[in-house]
Structure 1
Amino acid sequence: MQALVEAGLAQRQLGYRGRFAPSPTGALHRGNLRTALLSWLHARLRGGAWLLRLDDLDTPRNRAGAESSILTDLAWLGLNWDGPVLRQSERRGLYATALSALRRHGLLYPCRCSRRLLADISAPHGAAAVYPGTCRAASGGWGPVQGRLPSWRLRLEPGSLHWLESYGAPGELDGPAAVGDVVLRRADGYLAYHLATAVDELVLGISDVVRGDDLWGATGAQVAVMAALGAPPPRYGHVPLLCDGSGRRLSKREGAEGLAGYHQLGMDAAAVVGQLAASAALVPAGSRLSAAELLQQLSSERLDQVLRGAQA
Structure 2
Amino acid sequence: MAFVTRFAPSPTGYLHRGHAYSALAAYTAAREAGGRFLLRIEDIDITRSRPEYEAAILEDLSWLGLSWESPVRRQSEHLADYHAAIETLRERGLVYRCFKTRKEIDIGRAPHEPAVPYVGGPLPADEEAERLARGEAFAWRLSLAAARETLGGFETLTFIEEGAGPGGETGLIQARPETAGDIVLARKDVGVAYHLAVVHDDALQGVTHVVRGADLFEAAHIQRLLQALLGLPTPVYRHHGLLVGPDGKRYAKRDKAQTLQELRTAGALPGTLRKELGFA
Name the CA shift for 1:159/1:124 in 2 (closer, same or farther; >3 Å): farther
Match of 1:76 in 2: 63
1:57 aligns with 2:38: no
Residue 300 of structure 1: aligned partner? none
Cα separation, 1, equivalents of 2:185 and 2:95: 9
Equivalent position SS for 1:79: coil
The offset of 1:122, in angstroms, is 6.2
1:172 Cα offset (Å): 3.1
Range that drifts further, 154-163 or 85-94 = 154-163
Name the structure 1 match of 2:18.
31
TM-aligned CA deviation for residue 222 of structure 1? 1.6
The Cα offsets for residues 4-47 of structure 1, whole Å up to 9 and x where unpaired, read as xxxxxxxxxx5111010000112111100111011111111101
Identify the range of structure 1 (38-47 vs 258-267) with the bigger mean alpha-carbon deviation: 258-267
- Aligned pairs for 1:286-297 (under 5 A) are 294=280
Correspondence for 1:92: 79
Distance 2:237 2:162 in 1: 6
- Alignment TM-score, normalising by the size of structure 2: 0.85
1:228 match: 229
Instruction: Name the CA distance, whole Å, in 2 between partners of 1:46 and 1:193.
Output: 28
One-letter amino acid matched to 1:162: T
In 2, the alpha carbon distance for the partners of 1:253 and 1:89 equals: 23
Q: Which residue of 1 aligns with 2:176?
A: 174
Give the superposed CA RMSD: 2.4
Residue 122 to residue 100, structure 1, CA distance change in 2 (3 Å): farther
Give the equivalent residue in structure 2 for 1:150. 138
* Aligned counterparts, 1:173-252, within 5 A: 173-176=175-178, 178-188=179-189, 190-245=191-246, 247-252=248-253
2: distance between equivalents of 1:166 and 1:256?
A: 28
1:41-98 deviations in whole A, cap 9, x for unaligned? 1111101111100000111101241111100111111111123111001111111111
User: May I ask how many residue pairs the two structures share in their alignment?
Assistant: 264
Q: Following the alignment from structure 2 to structure 1, what is the Cα–Cα distance between the partners of residues 195 and 42? A: 11
**Paired residues of 1:30 and 1:259 also in contact (CA < 8 A):** yes
One-letter code aligned to 2:154? G
Q: Please list the CA deviations of residues 139-194 of structure 1 after superposition, one character each: whole Å capped at 9, or x if unmatched.
A: 34477253213211112214354221111233334333x12111111144711111
Q: Does 1:20 align with 2:7?
A: yes
Contact 1:262 1:272 in 2 (8 A): no
CA distance in 2, matches of 1:91, 1:122: 37
1:101-160 alpha-carbon deviations (Å, 9 max, x no partner): 111122111111122122237698554531122x34643447725321321111221435
Instruction: Give the percent of matched residue pairs that are identical in Structure 1 and Structure 2.
Output: 38
**Cα distance between partner residues in 1 of 2:114 and 2:31:** 36
Amino acid at match of 1:132: V
Task: Decide whether the 8 Å contact of 1:21 with 1:54 is kept in 2.
Answer: yes
Question: What is the DSSP-based 3-state SS (H/G/I as helix, E as strand, rest coil) of the residue aligned with 1:236?
Answer: strand
Query: Structure 1: 5+ residue runs without aligned partners?
Result: 1-13, 283-293, 295-312
Residues 1:263 and 1:188: Cα distance change in structure 2 (over 3 Å)? closer
Residues 98, 121 of structure 1: CA spacing in aligned structure 2 closer, same or farther, 3 A cutoff? farther
- Within 2, Cα distance between the matches of 1:126 and 1:276? 35
